[in-house]
């Protein structure tokens, strides 16, 4: 039987250059994909096989870490690569693509790394050329629409050719090692689960902060904004992993069933609550990592009301999380690149140290996703001494540095895992249609609330933690952001 093909749309794009080709090289170098698997790239650019191999070689030279570069492996990797020029918006080029692929009996894993406006014609073309059979899976890069309606349209177009079990929607955060570790932390340890609810937890914070600005993605970002670019997908996926019930199994259905229950339990933020439960900002000129940087509209070259920062106070209305706020915050041009989940536990019900001067701070758990990966539990300890003038208690960290605990293990980039799962057909770390749609439904209501309240982004200086209103959002509840 013939071997499988990986068919990559958007083969000449930025994502292919920075992430997909380096990830595929890593899978090749580690012997994780079959020797016979061919990688067929396609885009409009008029390249031949050698031209795309050259493109890939340059991308790998630029984006592979020095210790991963190996001339022999690079040569054998490039031999896998074939290229077919194609305008995916037109059906006539697809038969030539099918011909390039050749024998499809080994199956095809398709990855659409193109704008979603191309998904519909691409799928129609694939179908017509006989490239959408039972042994074909399709991976879809985000964004999956701009709202619930457009997302449904995309999902319907995909579903016309690919049933849900062969549709793999990418959220690259699910491929990150520490995100998966969240499942291990919660469900492979006995100590957290009894406290992982409204009785034990005061509030949760999820921060995904970036130092970068527009990074050349002007056209896309200004039409999206932080809510749709980051919250609708990555942050709601993180929230659902933090808040979900223990799945009965690690299989795709069990995990996704539990996540979607959380997403459906999110309390709607609408025109009544948008102004009190959300804050939007847009960066002005400032400094990033010590260097002066222009503001968003200067980078963009025109006035804009697009938010580059959003903070939200969310609630999961179910038994487990009643009364526990989930504060979400994400933005561009913030002081650090830092993604983390911060769990603030409740205070002990009674302090036996109070009369002796001992002051208690409630426990905290920090799950740092990037740039470093660690899990840190802050616990109270007594300072050594004879305590003649009272007991001094201090918060001390119990640290699990994943980087050092697994020092001999290479940290893979998210797309390595996701591409391998797509090739092998494991959907666990991909997003199901009902999840995406629940995410859009929640986000759409927020956007409608902003419009109804005439909310526009407040300015914040590049290099700051967003508008001061974002600080007020939590301080009103007596909570400080964990910076
Ligand atoms: N870059 C990133 O970091 C991220 C990107 N994404 C998403 O991934 C997708 C790809 O992003 P990115 O690589 O940055 O985008 P680019 O604009 O860099 O690349 C787009 C790719 O699509 C191809 N393309 C454009 N029009 C057509 C067409 N009519 N027919 C066939 N191919 C076409 C382009 O090649 P050519 O011009 O030769 O046709 C190119 O290969 C986008 O949806 C983006 O939002 C998501 C998360 C992060
Ligand atoms: O999907 C996206 O994610 C990146 C951030 O990803 P990370 O892995 O670097 O945290 C973000 O910059 C981009 O705007 C967004 O589209």
pLDDT at 478 exceeding the cut of 80: yes
Work out which ligand 1 atom sits closest to the CA atom of 87.
30
pLDDT of res. 251? 94
Among the listed residues 28, 234, 277, 315, the single catalytic one is: 234
175 lines ligand 1 (CB under 6 A): no
Distance of CA 377 to the CA centre of its chain: 24
Question: 11 a known binding residue?
Answer: yes
Work out which ligand 1 atom sits closest to the CA atom of 88.
30
114 lines ligand 1 (CB under 6 A): yes
- C-beta separation of 186 from 365 below 8 A: no
Rounded mean pLDDT, 396-412: 85
DSSP 8-class letter at 243: H
- C-beta separation of 136 from 33 below 8 A: no
Question: 188 a known binding residue?
Answer: no
Measure Cα distances from 380 to 69, 113, 357, 359, 377 in Å: 46, 48, 14, 10, 10
pLDDT at 294 exceeding the cut of 90: yes
Domain 5-141 in CATH 3.40.50.720 = yes
Q: Which has the closest alpha carbon to 316: 265, 256, 241, 260?
A: 265
142 lines ligand 1 (CB under 6 A): yes
- C-beta separation of 112 from 161 below 8 A: no
Torsions phi, psi of 425, nearest 5? 85, 30
Could you tell me the pLDDT band of residue 407, with boundaries at 50, 70 and 90? confident
pLDDT of res. 216? 80
10 Å Cβ neighbour count for 259? 25
Q: Which has the closest alpha carbon to 172: 61, 280, 18, 314?
A: 18
Cα–Cα distance for residue pair 63/411, rounded to 1 Å: 15
pLDDT of res. 1? 64
Q: Which has the closest alpha carbon to 85: 71, 96, 77?
A: 96
The residues, any chain, with a CB within 8 Å of residue 96's CB and separated by 6 or more, are 84, 86
171 lines ligand 2 (CB under 6 A): no
pLDDT of res. 411? 80
Measure Cα distances from 425 to 11, 36, 110, 333, 420 in Å: 21, 17, 11, 37, 8
pLDDT in tens, 138-155: 999 999 999 999 999 999
Flag the least confident range among 205-209, 219-223, 237-241, 409-413. 409-413
pLDDT in tens, 163-185: 999 999 999 999 998 888 899 99
Determine the distance separating the centroid of ligand 1 and the alpha carbon of 30, expressed in angstroms.
27
Length of the chain: 483
Rounded mean pLDDT, 261-269: 98
* Ligand number, closest to the Cα atom of 233: 2
Question: 210 a known binding residue?
Answer: yes
What is the overall mean pLDDT for the chain?
Answer: 95
**Largest alpha-carbon pair distance within the chain?**
87
DSSP 8-class letter at 48: -
pLDDT in tens, 332-351: 999 999 999 999 999 999 99
Indicate the helix (H) or strand (E) that contains 93: none
Determine the distance separating the centroid of ligand 1 and the alpha carbon of 47, expressed in angstroms.
16
Question: 372 a known binding residue?
Answer: no
Parse the chain into domains and list their residue ranges.
Answer: 5-141, 174-475
The tokens for 446 are 């927020």
Torsions phi, psi of 111, nearest 5? -125, 115
Determine the distance separating the centroid of ligand 2 and the alpha carbon of 308, expressed in angstroms.
13
222 lines ligand 2 (CB under 6 A): no
Determine the distance separating the centroid of ligand 2 and the alpha carbon of 176, expressed in angstroms.
12
Cα–Cα distance for residue pair 81/54, rounded to 1 Å: 10
pLDDT of res. 388? 87
Question: 10 a known binding residue?
Answer: yes
pLDDT in tens, 365-389: 999 998 988 999 999 999 999 888 8
89 lines ligand 1 (CB under 6 A): yes
Cα–Cα distance for residue pair 458/68, rounded to 1 Å: 44
- C-beta separation of 347 from 395 below 8 A: no
Closest C-alpha to ligand 1, atom 23: 10
- Percentage above 90 pLDDT, the chain: 89
The residues, any chain, with a CB within 8 Å of residue 430's CB and separated by 6 or more, are 139, 168, 169, 170, 171, 174, 252, 418, 421, 422
Work out which ligand 1 atom sits closest to the CA atom of 9.
32
Q: Say yes or no: do domains 5-141 and 174-475 share a fold.
A: no
Work out which ligand 2 atom sits closest to the CA atom of 210.
12
229 lines ligand 2 (CB under 6 A): yes
The tokens for 123 are 């799928």
Rounded mean pLDDT, 100-116: 96
Determine the distance separating the centroid of ligand 1 and the alpha carbon of 178, expressed in angstroms.
27
202 lines ligand 2 (CB under 6 A): no
What stretches of 3-44 adopt beta strand conformation (E)?
Answer: 5-9, 38-43
87 lines ligand 1 (CB under 6 A): yes
Q: Is 234 one of the annotated active-site residues of the chain?
A: yes
Pinpoint the alpha helices (H) of 319-413: 402-405
Rounded mean pLDDT, 79-98: 97
- C-beta separation of 464 from 293 below 8 A: no
- Percentage above 70 pLDDT, the chain: 100
Pinpoint the alpha helices (H) of 129-250: 148-159, 177-187, 218-222, 225-226, 236-243
Question: 176 a known binding residue?
Answer: yes
Topology of domain 174-475, CATH: Dihydrodipicolinate Reductase; domain 2 (3.30.360)
pLDDT of res. 273? 97
Determine the distance separating the centroid of ligand 2 and the alpha carbon of 165, expressed in angstroms.
26
């Amino acid at each position: 039987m013939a071997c499988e093909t990986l068919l990559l749309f958007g083969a000449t794009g930025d994502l292919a250059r920075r992430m997909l080709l380096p990830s595929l090289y890593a899978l090749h170098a580690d012997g994780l994909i079959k020797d016979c698997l061919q990688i067929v790239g396609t885009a409009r650019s008029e390249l031949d096989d050698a031209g795309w191999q050259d493109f890939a070689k340059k991308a790998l030279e630029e984006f592979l870490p020095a210790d991963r570069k190996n001339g022999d492996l690079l040569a054998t990797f490039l031999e896998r690569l074939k290229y077919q020029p194609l305008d995916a918006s037109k059906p006539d080029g697809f038969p030539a693509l099918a011909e390039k692929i050749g024998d499809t009996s080994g199956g095809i894993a398709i990855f659409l790394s193109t704008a979603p406006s191309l998904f519909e014609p691409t799928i129609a073309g694939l179908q017509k050329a006989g490239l959408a059979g039972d042994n074909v899976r399709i991976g879809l890069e985000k964004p999956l629409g701009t709202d619930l309606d457009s997302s449904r349209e995309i999902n319907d177009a995909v579903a016309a050719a690919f049933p849900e079990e062969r549709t793999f929607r990418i959220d690259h955060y699910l491929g990150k090692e520490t995100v998966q570790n969240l499942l291990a932390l919660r469900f492979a340890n006995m100590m957290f689960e009894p406290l992982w609810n409204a009785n034990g937890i005061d509030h949760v914070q999820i921060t995904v902060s970036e130092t970068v600005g527009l990074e050349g993605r002007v056209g896309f970002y200004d039409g999206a904004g932080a809510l749709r670019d980051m919250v609708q997908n990555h942050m709601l996926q993180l929230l659902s992993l933090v808040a979900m019930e223990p799945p009965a199994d690690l299989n795709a259905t069990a995990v996704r069933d539990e996540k979607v229950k959380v997403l459906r339990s999110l309390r709607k933020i609408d025109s009544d609550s948008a102004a009190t439960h959300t804050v939007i900002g847009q960066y002005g000129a400032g400094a990033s990592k010590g260097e002066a940087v222009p503001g968003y509209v200067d980078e963009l070259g025109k006035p804009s009301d697009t938010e580059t920062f959003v903070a939200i106070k969310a609630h999961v209305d179910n038994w487990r999380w009643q009364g526990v706020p989930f504060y979400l915050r994400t933005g561009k041009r913030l002081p650090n690149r830092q993604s983390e989940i911060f769990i603030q536990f409740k205070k002990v019900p009674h302090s036996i140290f109070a009369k002796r001067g001992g002051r208690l701070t409630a426990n905290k758990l920090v799950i740092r996703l990037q740039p470093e990966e660690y899990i840190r539990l802050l616990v109270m300890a007594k300072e050594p001494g004879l305590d003649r003038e009272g007991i001094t208690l201090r918060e001390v960290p119990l640290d699990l540095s994943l980087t050092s605990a697994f020092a001999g293990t290479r940290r893979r980039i998210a797309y390595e895992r996701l591409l391998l799962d797509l090739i092998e057909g494991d959907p666990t770390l991909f997003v199901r249609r009902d999840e995406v749609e629940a995410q859009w439904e929640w986000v759409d209501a927020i956007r409608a609330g902003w419009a109804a309240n005439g909310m526009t982004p407040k300015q914040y200086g590049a290099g700051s933690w967003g508008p001061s209103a974002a600080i007020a959002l939590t301080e009103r509840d007596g909570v400080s952001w964990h910076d």
